[in-house]
């Protein structure tokens, strides 16, 4: 099993997402992370997909993505250095524990406090998937009330 981060530039219209998702689902592959949004050109969206599977099959899927009419460009970061970022919002229970301890932990991870309430605080944090995973592991014992992750976005590292 290997994990690929794949970045796609696609035509910004209905149906594109479904065709792309279909290439993964028809092989029984689950997309573990997916982000989509318009680029500076309103007719083009950028999609970032993270998926795990057999190496040869992922290579095959990348070729098939290239073949879709709605897909303008495919970059497989298996072969290129990328800068990857993800955002996370988490509401942590503060009823039983020390609010300051949690805030301190957040500071170490470079997080910010997005909101404070009598028995909870909402923390926002940005970083790599790995960084966010580590943070979640640390914060979990305090009691997570709700959590959301944005999914990873990625760009190839510029050398110029």
137 binds another protein, rule: CB under 8 A: no
N residues, the chain: 160
42 binds another protein, rule: CB under 8 A: no
Q: Which is nearer to another protein, 62 or 91 (CB)?
A: 62
26 binds another protein, rule: CB under 8 A: yes
Matching residue, tokens 């790995």: 130
Cα 157 to Cα 30: distance, rounded to the nearest angstrom: 27
Q: How far is the CB of 63 from another protein (least distance, A)?
A: 4
Q: How many residues bind another protein (CB under 8 A)?
A: 20
**What is the three-class DSSP state of 105?**
helix
Q: Which two tokens stand for residue 144?
A: 């997570």
Q: Which is nearer to another protein, 19 or 149 (CB)?
A: 19
Of 53-61, 76-84, 111-119, 126-134, which segment contacts another protein by CB under 8 A? 53-61
Cα 4 to Cα 51: distance, rounded to the nearest angstrom: 6
> Which residues from 54-73 bind another protein, rule CB under 8 A?
56, 59-60, 63-64, 66-72
Matching residue, tokens 């709605």: 70
Residues 6+ apart with CB under 8 A from 134: 109
Contacts with another protein by CB under 8 A lie at 10-11, 14-15, 18-19, 22, 26, 56, 59-60, 63-64, 66-72
């Amino acid at each position: 099993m290997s994990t690929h981060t794949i970045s796609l530039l696609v035509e910004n219209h209905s149906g594109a997402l479904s065709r792309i998702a279909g290439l993964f689902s028809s092989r029984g592959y689950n997309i573990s992370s997916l982000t989509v949004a318009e680029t500076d050109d309103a007719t083009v969206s950028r999609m970032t997909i993270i998926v795990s599977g057999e190496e040869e099959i992922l290579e095959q899927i990348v070729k098939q993505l290239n073949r879709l009419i709605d897909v303008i460009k495919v970059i497989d970061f298996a072969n290129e250095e990328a800068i990857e970022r993800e955002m996370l919002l988490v509401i942590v229970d503060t009823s039983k524990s020390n609010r300051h301890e949690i805030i301190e932990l957040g500071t170490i991870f470079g997080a910010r406090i997005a909101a404070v309430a009598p028995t909870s605080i909402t923390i926002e944090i940005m970083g790599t998937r790995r960084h966010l995973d580590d943070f979640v592991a640390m914060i979990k014992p305090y009691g997570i009330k709700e959590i959301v992750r944005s999914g990873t976005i990625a760009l190839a590292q510029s050398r110029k």
